[in-house]
A and B are shown apart, each in its own frame.
Chain A
Amino acid sequence: MLKPRSIAILALVASILGLTFAAYSTYDYAEHLDRQIHAIHCSFIPGASASDEADNPCKTALFSPYSAIYRASYWGGVPISLFALGAFSFFAGFAAYLLVASERAPRRALLFLGVLGVTPLLASLVMFFISLTRLHTFCRVCVGIYASSALLGAAAVMALMVHARRARGDVDRRVDPRGETEIASAPAGSPLLPVGWAAALGFCAVLPALVYVAALPDYRPFLASCGKLAVATEPHSALLKIPTARAVQPVTLFEDPLCPSCKAFHERLVDEGVFDKLDVTLVMFPLDDEKDCNWMVDRALHPGACLLSRAVLCGGNERARAILEWSFDNQDDLRELGQKNVSALEKKIGERWGKDVVSCAQDRATVIRLQRNLHYAANNHIPVSTPQMFLGDKRICDEDTDLGLKYTLAQLAPEVLK
């Protein structure tokens, strides 16, 4: 038979666990407010050491547009884990209350836990769905929060069951070994109690977020401090112009089709609904050491990127975006082919985009066109890293291309967020 004490213990354990995972997630997020790269915790074991691996799924989640709200108003936004911190703190306190009150807890306390104890689970289900369908990866710290929320949800369901039993007057009257009997009819409690608890839950949920926002530094002086595009035009028309639906802001993007950061950056722009409002000039900048390709690199960071960059150029303005996005979507396979078997990479490009694109990518004229893209990068003395974004002629700092992207756009080009 379910008892309030057991339910309280389950809720307390779930809340403490959820609080721990939410604390790690918040800490990792807040560490990045210095605009530097930091290692990120990503383990089911709370306290396990942080990881700085490039394919860390928690990094993917952290840098995704779904990890925070109000990104346009605050640099990095307000991480949603802050609300989890507050909510789990409240539920831990509420579970402690139920544990001590045990059978004397008013029925409305069980009803309250039953109704509002599932809210973290509902939020977790939404985030789980986003991880599944958008991020295609599961951050282990996030999964820890989901599991904690599920435990709390289970406690909530049990609380509802006990509440329903007590409301029917159906209680266990057996005598326990210490001679205590379950109270036949716990008091219902004042109707104002749930209102007060709900208000306390709301206060707890928003307090960490309010403190976080109040402590944020002013990022505006840093935003336009990373240089300008010295040479605005490329005289040979070698660069691509990507047509978009509602272009309102000229940008120049330097991209490598096999660069994971470019892929993540592109997805951020698309997911934020920004890409279609950009008038995009695309400059191919492959970090590959193929002969006669990029003289600025002494080793292939992304083998096969030169060939794919030429394929993107061969797509012309109309098909370039599709070929680039296909390259992003198949980066791991394409990079492996580029490293081991270039002819297999050509075959793969041919299968998807046709032999004319492969022939074009092998053509001397396209080699020269790609070199002109690279000369454009050299003329502008951009850093040899990708992606690079110039908003008009202003260079967006690398530090502002992930967490701070939406805030930076709101400050420097607000029309793209309208």
Chain B
Amino acid sequence: MPRAIDAVDPPKPPRSPSGGPRGPLPPFVPALVGATVGFVLLVAMTVTVRATVHGAAERLEKPRADDAPAKVAVADDSEEKYCTPSFKQVLQRVLNACGLVGGEARRGCQPADVKTFASISDDDFNALFEPLKERGAVIMFDDASDALDPGAKKLLEERWEDRKGARYFFVVARASKTGTTDLNRALSHKRANSVMFYLGDKFKDPDLDKQVGLLWLGNEFAQLKKDYCQWPTSRDAKACNAEAINRSAFVSWVDCRL
């Protein structure tokens, strides 16, 4: 019997790649594929995490050379170019011998001490301080006096407040040639103390004893030449001469790491 012309053929079964009929997937296949994909990804990620943490732990225990942290400067006192080895050597001896470090009860150095520890000539000793021309000052006194005049106090205050990064403040007191050696030794000692006491009274700095280095040279060692009248002084430069410049206390912060 002929087929009705309006009949619709039933859908053909799907074909497999080999041309045979493709049946439905076994029900476990999608679950297996999904589980495999999930498992593989999870294991891969977990192994990677483990390896990365382990690698970091190894670097922590045994840092590689290129893992060494960049060297960072350490905070410290200032250090200017004038801090030559010989300058620092003398200053260090001052610190050690004159009671600034080591907790010694004695404060300051007298001429005999300075001669001994400096082990250099007068001129060489003074030359060490020449680079401090901008930083230091010469506090001048009247003949046979250790009293600070207003100009001396003002300059001393300015210099003290201009500390910046320095740790030590040096006071090198002298006396002119007039008078006996013993008298001048005592006078220069008093002048150094005048500076020290004034700073203590004015600023009441609890660290004063650890900062101020006192030297008194009398008229025995390292007398200043007239050239020092050109330095910042507490008096009019016109009144300054070779005698007057040594009735003084040279003061300066010293920007050296000692």
Given the known interface contacts A207-B46, A236-B205, the answer about A295 and B164 at a Cβ–Cβ threshold of 8 Å is yes
Indicate whether B41 reaches chain A with its CB closer than 8 angstroms: yes
- Give the one of B34, B39, B53 with max A CB within 10 A: B34
One of A41-49, A56-64, A318-326, A380-388 contacting the partner: A380-388
Which residues from B are CB-within-8-Å of A219?
Answer: 60
Bound-state CA distance A384–B41 (Å) is 47
B78 contacts A89, C-beta separation under 8 Å = no
Which residues from A are CB-within-8-Å of B35?
Answer: 93, 97
Bound-state CA distance A406–B13 (Å) is 66
A208 contacts B72, C-beta separation under 8 Å = no
Indicate whether B226 reaches chain A with its CB closer than 8 angstroms: no
A100 contacts B46, C-beta separation under 8 Å = no
Bound-state CA distance A90–B50 (Å) is 19
Which residues from A are CB-within-8-Å of B167?
Answer: 378
Indicate whether A170 reaches chain B with its CB closer than 8 angstroms: no
Q: Which of B60, B67, B163 contacts A368 (CB 8 A)?
A: B163
Interface string of B8-25 (1 = CB under 8 A from A): 000111100000000011
**Size band of the interface chain B makes with A:** 35 or more
Given the known interface contacts A33-B53, A179-B12, the answer about A377 and B75 at a Cβ–Cβ threshold of 8 Å is yes
Bound-state CA distance A10–B12 (Å) is 30
A211 contacts B46, C-beta separation under 8 Å = yes
Of all chain B residues, the one with the shortest Cβ separation from A200 is B38
Given the known interface contacts A82-B49, A97-B33, A368-B163, the answer about A217 and B61 at a Cβ–Cβ threshold of 8 Å is yes
Interface string of B59-88 (1 = CB under 8 A from A): 111010001010011111110000000000
A104 contacts B45, C-beta separation under 8 Å = no
Indicate whether A105 reaches chain B with its CB closer than 8 angstroms: yes
Indicate whether A265 reaches chain B with its CB closer than 8 angstroms: no
> Min CB distance, A88 to chain B, in Å?
8
Indicate whether A181 reaches chain B with its CB closer than 8 angstroms: yes
> Min CB distance, A52 to chain B, in Å?
13
- Give the one of A27, A34, A236 with max B CB within 10 A: A34
Indicate whether A86 reaches chain B with its CB closer than 8 angstroms: yes
The main secondary structure of chain A at its interface with chain B is helix
Which residues from A are CB-within-8-Å of B78?
Answer: 295-296
- Give the one of A175, A217, A292, A364 with max B CB within 10 A: A217
Indicate whether A26 reaches chain B with its CB closer than 8 angstroms: yes
Of all chain B residues, the one with the shortest Cβ separation from A101 is B30
> Min CB distance, A252 to chain B, in Å?
13
B164 contacts A34, C-beta separation under 8 Å = no
Given the known interface contacts A94-B34, A211-B49, A374-B165, the answer about A381 and B57 at a Cβ–Cβ threshold of 8 Å is no
Bound-state CA distance A177–B225 (Å) is 114
* A residues 1-52 in Cβ contact with B at 8 Å: 19, 23, 26-27, 30-36
Q: Which of A85, A285, A378 contacts B165 (CB 8 A)?
A: A378
> Min CB distance, A350 to chain B, in Å?
25
Q: Which of A101, A292, A384 contacts B73 (CB 8 A)?
A: A384
A204 contacts B53, C-beta separation under 8 Å = no
Interface string of A272-287 (1 = CB under 8 A from B): 0000000000000100
**Size band of the interface chain A makes with B:** 35 or more
> Min CB distance, B106 to chain A, in Å?
23
* A residues 92-133 in Cβ contact with B at 8 Å: 92-98, 100-101, 104-105
Of all chain A residues, the one with the shortest Cβ separation from B255 is A295
Q: Which of B25, B42, B45, B57 contacts A215 (CB 8 A)?
A: B57
Q: Which of B29, B41, B163 contacts A92 (CB 8 A)?
A: B41
Interface string of A232-252 (1 = CB under 8 A from B): 000110000000000000000
Of all chain B residues, the one with the shortest Cβ separation from A365 is B161
Bound-state CA distance A92–B228 (Å) is 87
Which residues from A are CB-within-8-Å of B75?
Answer: 285, 296, 374, 377-378, 380-384
A90 contacts B69, C-beta separation under 8 Å = no
Bound-state CA distance A92–B37 (Å) is 7
Q: Which of A90, A381, A382 contacts B38 (CB 8 A)?
A: A90
Of all chain A residues, the one with the shortest Cβ separation from B35 is A93
A93 contacts B34, C-beta separation under 8 Å = yes
Bound-state CA distance A381–B61 (Å) is 27
> Min CB distance, A404 to chain B, in Å?
11
Indicate whether B241 reaches chain A with its CB closer than 8 angstroms: no
> Min CB distance, B15 to chain A, in Å?
9
> Min CB distance, B89 to chain A, in Å?
22
A34 contacts B38, C-beta separation under 8 Å = no
A100 contacts B29, C-beta separation under 8 Å = yes
Q: Which of A19, A36, A212, A381 contacts B41 (CB 8 A)?
A: A19
Bound-state CA distance A88–B78 (Å) is 58
Given the known interface contacts A89-B42, A236-B206, A384-B72, the answer about A104 and B11 at a Cβ–Cβ threshold of 8 Å is no
Which residues from A are CB-within-8-Å of B53?
Answer: 30, 33, 212, 215-216
> Min CB distance, A90 to chain B, in Å?
6
A178 contacts B14, C-beta separation under 8 Å = yes
Indicate whether A180 reaches chain B with its CB closer than 8 angstroms: yes
Given the known interface contacts A89-B41, A179-B12, the answer about A31 and B69 at a Cβ–Cβ threshold of 8 Å is no
Bound-state CA distance A31–B48 (Å) is 12
Across the A-B interface, the 3 shortest Cβ-Cβ residue pairs: A93-B38, A97-B34, A295-B165
Listed by A's residue number, 28 A-B pairs whose Cβ atoms lie within 8 Å are A34-B55, A34-B56, A34-B57, A34-B63, A35-B60, A36-B59, A36-B63, A36-B69, A89-B41, A92-B37, A92-B41, A93-B34, A93-B38, A98-B34, A100-B33, A101-B25, A104-B30, A105-B30, A179-B14, A180-B14, A204-B38, A208-B45, A216-B53, A292-B164, A296-B165, A368-B163, A378-B76, A378-B167
